[in-house]
């Protein structure tokens, strides 16, 4: 459904894009220059996943101060929060021309590259995966109530599946809608991986059409009571409703930081699936696109280097993000089980994106086939 919508929008806008390019040629500027050079200076646009909005606001203020103290040229920095799916559609449709693209997860990189290749017929990807920068991450975890887990000892997704098959147990689960939300999409990748007994990066289209895998996922989905758009809303719904409204939810780890100590219904804790977790790793991708000038690329690299400074990384921790830089110690007051239901160390391995972008594109369709329609 999402793929159909994307393809239809692209076809409808191809003639508009062609017209825009011709006009740009006529007046001596490209479409991108028209958009981004309305005022003097170097213009950089960052499109980023809204899950890190609080940290990005802090980064903006600190970086602009740093720039003004160290560089004479004027910088116009625009940071815009976008849903990962929406940002892909907007890039392909020519609605936005980012310098840096930072989706919520690296899962979206093969999808954009696949669609970009189809649209432009270019062999050069718009995102060079080996050049994307990963600084922060939040793993997808199973959020549950401490009292419930003391009884059932959930260690991972297989244990959760077994509980969902137990007809004598009243269990209610939830994740966000994979067609609308990054965390729901990531959760489905994890479920399919466990059902197929394969690493996520080995998943193929054939796995999605496998009836045994479909049935396994349907058994777990049969206990789903909510598919929302917002991961933050889902976390608050769990905290406010208590154990009777929701037993287990697939959430970003940093969402539990916001709710664990704020609920009067009991303590919510993070279970780090023993099978592994897909990380919401927020890659920063300097796009391989012809609308980016050498000056913009130079300034963008300065920004990326600034994000990699120790001070910038540490500032992300208070929002519940972990750091890929293991030389920086995590704050034990934040990643604290007694206080926040989080473990400072966890053994859940990182699950990598499927290599085939077309497989990823079909995952929302797989969910529509397996979801609970009751």
pLDDT in tens, 201-249: 999 999 999 999 999 999 999 999 999 889 999 999 999 999 999 999 9
Mean pLDDT over residues 246-255, rounded?
96
Q: What is the pLDDT of residue 262?
A: 67
Residue 129: pLDDT band with limits 50, 70, 90: confident
Least confident of 90-99, 118-127, 136-145, 256-265: 256-265
Residue 17: pLDDT band with limits 50, 70, 90: very low
d(CA 29, CA 334): 50
Least confident of 28-32, 161-165, 259-263, 279-283: 28-32
Strands of the sheet containing 42-49, edge to edge, are 75-82, 42-49, 100-102, 285-286
Give the whole-number percent of the chain exceeding pLDDT 70.
89
Mean pLDDT over residues 1-27, rounded?
40
Mean pLDDT over residues 155-163, rounded?
98
Q: Is the pLDDT of residue 28 over 60?
A: no
Question: What is the three-class DSSP state of 81?
Answer: strand
Q: What are the distances in angstroms from CA 193 to CA 107, 159, 209?
A: 14, 15, 13
Decide: 181 and 231 in contact? Cβ < 8 Å: yes
Taking residue 355's Cβ as centre, other Cβ atoms within 10 Å add up to 13
Q: Give the DSSP letter of residue 303.
A: H
231 — phi, psi (to 5°)? -65, -40
198 Cβ contact list (under 8 Å, min separation 6)? 207
Q: Is the pLDDT of residue 8 over 80?
A: no
Mean pLDDT over residues 126-153, rounded?
95
Kindly report the length of the chain. 374
Mean pLDDT over residues 15-25, rounded?
38
Q: What is the pLDDT of residue 263?
A: 72
Q: What is the pLDDT of residue 201?
A: 92
Decide: 207 and 198 in contact? Cβ < 8 Å: yes
Q: What is the pLDDT of residue 12?
A: 46
Decide: 181 and 366 in contact? Cβ < 8 Å: no
Q: Which residue has the tokens 């003004």?
A: 68
Q: Which residue has the tokens 């397996």?
A: 370
**Continuous segment of H or E residues that includes residue 22:** helix 2-27
Note the pTM of the prediction, 2 decimals: 0.85
Q: Is the pLDDT of residue 125 over 70?
A: yes
Q: What is the pLDDT of residue 23?
A: 38
Mean pLDDT over residues 167-185, rounded?
95
Burial 313-328 (b: 16+ CB within 10 A, else e): bebbbebbbbbeeeee
Q: Is the pLDDT of residue 147 over 80?
A: yes
Mean pLDDT over residues 12-28, rounded?
38
Mean pLDDT computed over every residue of the chain: 89
Q: What is the pLDDT of residue 38?
A: 53
Decide: 329 and 335 in contact? Cβ < 8 Å: no
Tokens for 134, please give them: 């990963």
Stronger pLDDT, 4 or 132, i.e. the higher one: 132
Beta-bridge partner residues of 270: 143
pLDDT digits (tens, 9 = 90+) for 33-63: 444 445 689 999 999 998 899 999 999 999 9
Residue 309: pLDDT band with limits 50, 70, 90: very high
* Beta-strand relationship, 100-102 and 285-286: antiparallel
Q: Is the pLDDT of residue 352 over 60?
A: yes
Residue 21: pLDDT band with limits 50, 70, 90: very low
Mean pLDDT over residues 318-342, rounded?
94
Domains and CATH numbers, the chain: 2-133+283-320 (3.40.190.10), 138-280+340-370 (3.40.190.10)
């Amino acid at each position: 459904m999402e793929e159909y919508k994307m393809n239809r929008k692209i076809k409808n806008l191809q003639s508009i894009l062609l017209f825009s390019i011709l006009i740009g040629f006529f007046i001596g500027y490209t479409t991108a220059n028209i958009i981004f050079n309305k005022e003097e200076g170097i213009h950089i646009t960052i499109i980023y996943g809204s899950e890190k909005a609080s940290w990005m606001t802090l980064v903006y203020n600190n970086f602009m101060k740093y720039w003004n103290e160290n560089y004479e040229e004027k910088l116009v920095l625009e940071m815009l929060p976008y849903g990962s799916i929406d940002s892909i559609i907007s890039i392909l449709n020519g609605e936005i021309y980012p310098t840096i693209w930072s989706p919520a997860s690296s899962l979206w990189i093969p999808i954009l590259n696949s669609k970009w290749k189809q649209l432009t017929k270019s062999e050069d990807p718009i995102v060079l995966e080996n050049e994307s920068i990963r600084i922060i991450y939040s793993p997808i975890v199973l959020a549950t109530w401490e009292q419930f887990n003391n009884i059932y000892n959930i260690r991972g997704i297989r244990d959760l599946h077994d509980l969902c098959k137990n007809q004598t147990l009243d269990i209610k689960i939830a994740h966000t809608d994979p067609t609308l939300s990054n965390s729901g999409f990531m959760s489905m990748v994890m479920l399919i991986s466990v059902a197929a007994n394969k690493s996520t990066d080995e998943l193929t289209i054939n796995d999605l059409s496998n009836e045994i895998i479909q049935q396994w996922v349907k058994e777990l989905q049969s206990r789903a009571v909510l598919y929302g758009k917002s991961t933050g809303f889902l976390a608050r719904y769990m905290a406010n409703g208590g154990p009777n409204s929701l037993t287990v939810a697939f959430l970003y780890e940093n969402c539990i930081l916001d709710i664990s100590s704020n609920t009067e219904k009991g303590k919510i804790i993070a279970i780090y699936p023993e099978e592994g977790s897909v990380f919401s790793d927020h890659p920063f991708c300097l796009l391989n696109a012809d609308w980016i000038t050498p000056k913009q690329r130079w300034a963008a690299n300065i920004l990326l280097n600034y994000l990699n400074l120790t001070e910038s990384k540490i500032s992300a921790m208070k929002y519940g993000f972990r750091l890929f830089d293991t030389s920086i110690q995590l704050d034990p007051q934040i990643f604290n089980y007694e206080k926040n239901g989080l473990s400072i160390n966890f053994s859940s391995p990182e699950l990598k994106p499927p290599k085939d972008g077309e497989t990823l594109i079909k995952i929302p369709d797989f969910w529509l086939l397996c979801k609970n329609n009751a």
